[in-house]
């Protein structure tokens, strides 16, 4: 007598699940709304509230964020001004890891940081090389002529 039927214990949960099924979905008039006892108003149809299921955004069409890994490797090997190329490489690897995990917002953030560091490293390195060329051309920096002894 103290035991209850398992069907009775699960009945409220089953009823709640059945009530929640279809919750939050838009339905066309005549698709079961009257069967549930709902009545559509004329204003709802005019405003487009009951026109059908919502359109899900497709993120598959957007390209994945760029990680700028090749550019970072180039800056690390050839133009590593103040280690900016190395830091850009670290952020590029983080961006690639985030992209592989599917975290596109994190990958975009790390990728944009790597891009900024790559641009900064490139500009500073180019300015440094241009400055060296100008200083050599004007004679401020004299390259030693090793063919003349005693100079």
Q: Which two tokens stand for residue 74?
A: 């180039």
Can you tell me whether residue 60 is helix, strand or coil? Answer: helix
Identify the pLDDT of residue 144. Answer: 66
Identify the pLDDT of residue 76. Answer: 92
Identify the pLDDT of residue 82. Answer: 87
Identify the pLDDT of residue 81. Answer: 80
Write the DSSP symbol of residue 61: G
Identify the pLDDT of residue 79. Answer: 77
Identify the pLDDT of residue 52. Answer: 52
**Domain map (residue ranges) of the chain:** 26-51, 67-138
Identify the pLDDT of residue 141. Answer: 81
Please give the Cα distance from 135 to 128 (Å, whole number).
11
Please give the Cα distance from 36 to 21 (Å, whole number).
12
Split the chain (151 residues) into runs of 10 and give each run's mean pLDDT: 51 48 49 53 58 52 87 90 92 94 92 95 94 90 67 53
Identify the pLDDT of residue 92. Answer: 96
């Amino acid at each position: 007598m103290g035991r209850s039927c398992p069907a009775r214990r699960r009945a409220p949960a089953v009823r709640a699940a059945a009530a929640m099924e279809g919750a939050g979905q838009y339905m066309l008039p005549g698709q079961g709304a009257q069967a549930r006892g709902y009545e559509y108003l004329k204003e709802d149809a005019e405003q487009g509230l009951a026109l059908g299921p919502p359109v899900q955004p497709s993120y598959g069409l957007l390209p994945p964020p760029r990680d700028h890994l090749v550019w970072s490797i180039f800056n690390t090997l050839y133009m590593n001004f103040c280690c900016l190329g190395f830091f850009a490489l670290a952020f590029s690897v983080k961006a690639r890891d985030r992209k592989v995990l599917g975290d596109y917002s994190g990958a975009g953030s790390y990728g944009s940081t790597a891009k900024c560091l790559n641009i900064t490293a490139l500009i500073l390195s180019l300015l440094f090389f241009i400055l060296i060329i100008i200083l050599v051309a004007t004679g401020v920096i004299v390259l030693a002529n090793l063919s003349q002894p005693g100079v």
